[in-house]
Structure 1
Amino acid sequence: MFKKSIFLLLTIFFIFSTQALAYTTDDIEWKTSVDSTSLGWGDSVTNGDYVIKAEDFSKAGYVSITISKDGVLKKIEALGFGDEMTVDDEIKITVTAVKTNIDEWSGDMVDPTASIRISRRGLPNFEITIDTDESSYDPKDISSPKKITATLTVKNNGHAEAKNIDLTINTGGLTLTDGDLTHNYLSILIGETTSPITLEMDVPLLWDETSFLISANAKGYDIKGAEHTKTASKSVTIENKWELIATKTVTEEIYMTETAYVLVSIRNAGVCTLNSITVTDSVVDGLELKDSITLKKTISLKASESTEELFEYSLKPLKPGSYISPASVAEFTAPNGKKYSVSSGTPAIKVNGPYITLTKSVSSSNVTPGTEITVTVKVDNTGNRDASVTASDSLPTDASLVSGETGFQEVMKKSSSKSYSYVIRMDALGDVKLPSATASFIDLEGYKGEKISNMPVISVVEPVTETELTTEGTGDTQPTSSEPAQTENDNNEQTTATSLPEEEQTEPGFEALLSGLALASVYILFKRKN
């Protein structure tokens, strides 16, 4: 039992002794921190958490240097040219020159200086490189790789050897098909790079474009057993597995006499079957559908399958101009419950031709018999082609033409207007609807047609009489009655009150006023006729 105890103690002692003697000062790899700095008598310099001070000089060419840390003196030594001192195996001071500057007369030193080089213990540092054969992978593209190949290396770009390095790789959710995710290296020297590590992963089939992060972590130790780590990553993008292509074509340019043709097709360019695809289309403004067709269908397409003529129909132009066709839309719901949609392009179509419109208006819509009325007809060509236009109008019954022309014939330029007017007189009472003006046209392409205007209404009413003027002038609204009015007095006696005749209620001199108003009305009518 005693021998076993002695053996155990010796084993423990050996282990601790081995760890304590794991390295010597000569094994430390140093990195120059300050190549050269000069210190005079009492001067000091700070490097990190250490303070180096020149305490004293000797005529023999030595300088007394102290090194302190956090205000605590760590070491003091007298150093000559080429001498070194170290503290904590973390900092090293090397004297590169000592100048005593001894005065020849007095034999004393005058402003002596020492030049020193400061070195710090070197530390390892890792540089991880992750490369992939592509940055983006598209499973729909036959030229795109079906496997993701990643290559990794670890380099020690620090200033000391790294020991016992563990490298751990994470694929970020990608499925590994070849290679190892963990590696160990006993040592990586300064500037050394490990042999490349190759991994292979599947390209997943996804409904949505997704980015994956391939990462690696290196953990190692320096000569004193301190841990050093470094992490690096590389992002790769995986395109979605589905692709619908909606195509819509339309006749680019037609005349008003021609027909535009529309074709809509859908292609499944993905690598999976798409079920219950709803495709809808709509007609462009300015044209109308000539065919009996429903512009909504539900289809299913296998991978690489297409419908070349899902919708095929013709359109009749209604008006010249430039139009943009609305996009066709294809929608479906994936097994993941998410809805997806694509749209076609919006092709343009140009319709050429004249476009004639007529507008008819009157100077007054309420007149008395014999009043003269001005009728105006405006003709517009809002199209993009010239046309020969013949416009004509007719008079209503019981109307007579006083002056003017009721039509014209000429070539109307595109985007132009033309108006003509004439004067009529209405004699019959009542509401009169004027006939529509008409315009026939024809262009150089042989496109022709006829347009009509609106139909204004004129109300012909009787003129105001003298009696109506008198009533309006006096505003007399007293009621008259042939029945006696009954009242009851305090003695219950009845009395009868009879209304006076209307002429007896007229105030004196009112007849002269009526005569003057009558003469004034005659004078006004006479002036209007002239």
Structure 2
Amino acid sequence: MKPICKIIIILIILCSAIYPAFAEEPEWVDPQEKTMRMTESFTRGGYVIEATDFYDSSALITVFDTKGNLVTRNLTRINDYFVVDDRMNITIIDLQEVRGNIGANLGFNVSVDQWVKIETRVKGSPSIKLSIIPKGIEIKNRTIVRRTYIPGSEIPINFSIRNEGKAKLKDMILKINTSMPVLYNEKLNYEILELGAGNESDVITVRFQAPYTEERKLISISVEATGYDIFGKAHRAADSASVEVIPQFDNKIELIKYVSEKVYMGDVATVSLSIKNNGSYKIDNVNLTESLPQGIEPIDTNLSWNFNLGPFEQKTISYMVKPQKPGTYLFLPGGSIIEYQGILDYNKKPVKLIVGGPYVILLKSASSYDPVKGEKINITIEAKNLGDATAIVKLIDTIPVNYSLASEDQTYDNISDTMVLHPGISGSFSYLIFTSGTGSFILPPARATILDKIMYKDERYTQNATSAELIIKVREPLEIESPSVKITSAPRKSASPVSIETNVPAETPKSSPGFEVYMLIIFFLVIRKLNIRK
């Protein structure tokens, strides 16, 4: 036999062995059970399903369409199944026979009753439903959803995806479109890897800034989502909502916000609100609510107040905040909301807070998270200074005693290191641990105390940082029973039923369309290699 023929035969064997591994089992949903005796039938999903006959440990199931045309006929054993037109799964879940004596002329110990219990399931299909809702604000234990905003104010919108179908969605992409600019460099495109049937994604909050306008203006926000079922079929949905931007008008109450211009990490900033009644009569039950930029935390206050204002009275409310990391924070228009006599009003001008100082994050990683017993693992601790000042970093990590993962009763020691990190610079150290035992081991987080180099002596600024813990799963080495290698096809979930008479072609398993191209490329390269040798 020529070498080229041998190559072709080997490629055919590989295709038949690997193809089933690329096919993904459909999601069969909505199971329904039905018990039938001989010639009994029922209808589901546009098919008439009949128990035609019984044999030893098997039943002959015939499927017709609603016009009485034969679709398929299968002799199927208990726990086996067959698929009809790639739309319905029919499984035999029980099969019973009752034997008895019915008379000398008719026979003794014969079958007097037979019945089969089958389960039918239909192929699930995902369905996308989108949600676009402005983020609500809490005022006196009430949630108010704003749909009108003033120019320059922050507009937080919540987006989510719900899969209302009966099969999972994969590789979803959410695209948001609007004429408004985004704040804080937030994204307009998001990826969601998988969403099961009946599940909803996490809420995605995107903050926009209301444009400046001299008249009332409706602004549309649209969103489109695309996802795929397990067969690669695309499913899409789109939705839209509108918010209204209204120009600024003079109101009875004037609200102005002030904030410290610049502070250092570790210091606190002061926010002051000036509220003035421009009217000649008293205003009762005034509610004031504050919202803060991300990364700013209040100190000992709930950011909500209730008070009265006399004629032409001016009131000042101040509170303290603490920045969580360096940067420039914008307190936008609309961050302070005041409610009185059914009217909502806001602060009109933005204010800015600049925060300086070092800011360090810790990362702890392993060269392998599922090593074989006896393997060495490299553990790395990395510190990054994201601030604008030099930091002194005092690191402490918890390591296994003798650098060895030995048993479930593992004991640990501490090691430490100190490094100086300039702004934007990273530093790291590593060590090796040995895996002398098997099982799941938890390596505690690394910890660090960060001091400002300039303020080191009086320790005006101190930051505590912590990394994530690591989970290392050590396994036994694989035992090779025989040096021989044998190619086998991928196992199937259940044996295919034997088809007795059928007027429809046999079904073939679905596989990834890209795999055929892949095998053709391999075939072409092998042929070319042989030609070069000639």
Q: What TM-score bracket applies, with the shorter chain setting the length?
A: 0.3 to 0.5
TM-score, length-normalised on structure 2? 0.38
Q: Which has the higher contact order (CA 8 A, sep 6+)?
A: 2
